[in-house]
Amino acid sequence: MTIANPKLTRRLQLSGLLVGLGLAVEALTMAWSHPTAFLAFLLVGGTLVALGVLLYLYAIVSA
Protein backbone atom coordinates (compact mmCIF):
# COMPACT_ATOMS: atom_id res chain seq x y z
CA MET A 1 0.00 0.00 0.00
CA THR A 2 1.56 3.34 -0.95
CA ILE A 3 0.47 6.96 -0.64
CA ALA A 4 0.35 9.58 -3.37
CA ASN A 5 3.77 11.04 -2.46
CA PRO A 6 6.40 8.33 -3.09
CA LYS A 7 9.15 10.45 -1.56
CA LEU A 8 7.23 10.70 1.71
CA THR A 9 6.63 6.94 1.64
CA ARG A 10 10.34 6.22 1.18
CA ARG A 11 11.35 8.68 3.90
CA LEU A 12 8.81 7.28 6.36
CA GLN A 13 10.05 3.77 5.67
CA LEU A 14 13.70 4.77 6.03
CA SER A 15 12.89 6.71 9.20
CA GLY A 16 11.08 3.65 10.57
CA LEU A 17 14.06 1.46 9.73
CA LEU A 18 16.50 3.81 11.48
CA VAL A 19 14.32 4.26 14.56
CA GLY A 20 13.58 0.52 14.77
CA LEU A 21 17.26 -0.41 14.48
CA GLY A 22 18.26 2.24 16.99
CA LEU A 23 15.69 1.08 19.53
CA ALA A 24 16.73 -2.56 18.99
CA VAL A 25 20.37 -1.63 19.67
CA GLU A 26 19.33 0.32 22.78
CA ALA A 27 17.31 -2.66 24.08
CA LEU A 28 20.14 -5.13 23.37
CA THR A 29 22.69 -3.06 25.28
CA MET A 30 20.54 -3.42 28.40
CA ALA A 31 21.53 -7.08 28.64
CA TRP A 32 25.19 -6.22 29.27
CA SER A 33 26.57 -4.32 32.24
CA HIS A 34 29.73 -2.93 30.67
CA PRO A 35 31.04 0.48 29.58
CA THR A 36 31.02 -0.77 25.96
CA ALA A 37 27.27 -1.34 26.25
CA PHE A 38 26.87 2.20 27.57
CA LEU A 39 28.82 3.61 24.63
CA ALA A 40 26.95 1.43 22.12
CA PHE A 41 23.68 2.67 23.61
CA LEU A 42 24.69 6.31 23.23
CA LEU A 43 26.74 6.29 20.05
CA VAL A 44 25.03 3.61 17.95
CA GLY A 45 21.47 3.39 19.32
CA GLY A 46 21.16 7.08 20.13
CA THR A 47 22.55 8.17 16.76
CA LEU A 48 20.25 5.83 14.79
CA VAL A 49 17.19 7.00 16.73
CA ALA A 50 18.17 10.67 16.34
CA LEU A 51 18.71 10.25 12.58
CA GLY A 52 15.37 8.43 12.23
CA VAL A 53 13.47 11.12 14.15
CA LEU A 54 15.17 13.92 12.19
CA LEU A 55 14.38 12.18 8.90
CA TYR A 56 10.74 11.79 9.95
CA LEU A 57 10.50 15.48 10.87
CA TYR A 58 12.15 16.45 7.57
CA ALA A 59 9.76 14.16 5.68
CA ILE A 60 6.64 15.76 7.17
CA VAL A 61 7.79 19.37 6.76
CA SER A 62 8.96 18.83 3.18
CA ALA A 63 5.89 16.83 2.07
Binding footprint of other proteins on the chain (CB under 8 A) = 1-4, 8-9, 12-13, 15-17, 19-20, 22-24, 26-27, 29-31, 33-35, 37-39, 41-42, 45-46, 49, 52-53, 56-57, 60
Alpha-carbon distance 4 to 12, whole Å?
13
- Of 2 and 62, which has the nearer Cβ to other proteins? 2
Residue 33 three-state SS: coil
Residue 53 contacts residue 20 (beta carbons within 8 Å): no
Shortest Cβ 62–other proteins spacing (Å): 14
